[in-house]
Homo-oligomer: A and B are copies of this chain.
């Protein structure tokens, strides 16, 4: 089995075929610095290729925050990836450094979306800024009562740039609402998030929410991985293409996927009234 020991994430396997990834920097409200998002990509790239894993739950350690967002102090000291452009006051060279930095930061968060297995996000407590970017990159979001959501970036003088503005309007169906919360950075509550479709479920406590997420992940993990992973791929592809292009891509995809042994296994188990067993994927 692949190695799942990390500095900033607890990765456990509480249910068969299900990974639970916990952001683990509780003392700092799970705020992110560069090493953390670089490691996040490693976690999800590894899970994506791990044939023992069929679905994933992502949550934050401790009672206070899923994540309070970017660790601004640490971010201002970032120096890992762009070291050799001249110390410079040239705005164009600074922009080049910034662009390379943002591109890589986005790519780390997009690893969640790129991960071939469904990801369920459990949000609780402070869920500001980057928390929304991360939530938008997952497939399904559920939360605990008391969660404080905010697209916080405008309050620090910037537009959100790690995915919220690109993904959120394609997740919920009320763009006026998206604009209002993005322009004002106001905090919104679980009931509003549920009403707008940003989250699918609200639970009394974080523990209840994690439990519900694991149950849902466990249910998904009993299904054919060929069926489920194809569904994720085709839904994400279709979001970004015309219906005609979605249909064509689907047809090419399924031209081979319909040859899978999973179909026979699923049909047989239906007749025998037992859970099907599927090979790894």
Contact A231 B159 (CB under 8 A): yes
Contact B155 A257 (CB under 8 A): no
Residue of B nearest to A219 (CB): B184
A59 within 8 A of partner (CB): no
With A51-B84, A183-B220, A220-B183 as known contacts, state yes or no: A158 contacts B239, CB within 8 Å.
no
Contact B178 A235 (CB under 8 A): yes
Per-residue contact bits, chain A 166-180, to B (CB 8 Å; 1 contact, 0 not): 110111111111111
This chain: how many copies in the complex? 6
Contacts of A176 in B (CB 8 A): 139-141, 171, 197-200
Give the interface segment out of A11-19, A29-37, A61-69, A246-254: A246-254
With A220-B183, A235-B165 as known contacts, state yes or no: A86 contacts B254, CB within 8 Å.
no
Chain A: residues with Cβ within 8 Å of the partner, total of: 116
Contact B255 A224 (CB under 8 A): no
A5 within 8 A of partner (CB): no
In-complex Cβ contact of A92 among B177, B223, B251, B259 (8 A): B259
Contact B216 A180 (CB under 8 A): yes
Question: How near does chain B come to A48, taking the closest CB pair, in angstroms?
Answer: 9
Contacts of A51 in B (CB 8 A): 84-86
If A158-B227, A184-B220 are given as contacts, then 19 extra A-B residue pairs at C-beta distance below 8 Å, sorted by A number, are: A91-B95, A98-B259, A102-B254, A103-B248, A106-B247, A106-B250, A153-B227, A157-B227, A157-B266, A157-B276, A158-B230, A159-B257, A167-B243, A169-B238, A171-B176, A172-B173, A173-B173, A184-B219, A240-B242
What residues make up the interface of A, taking CB atoms closer than 8 Å to B? 2, 49-52, 55, 72, 81-82, 84-86, 88, 90-96, 98-100, 102-103, 106, 110, 113, 118, 139-141, 153-161, 163, 165-167, 169-180, 182-185, 196-200, 216, 219-220, 223-224, 226-235, 238-244, 246-267, 270, 276, 278-281
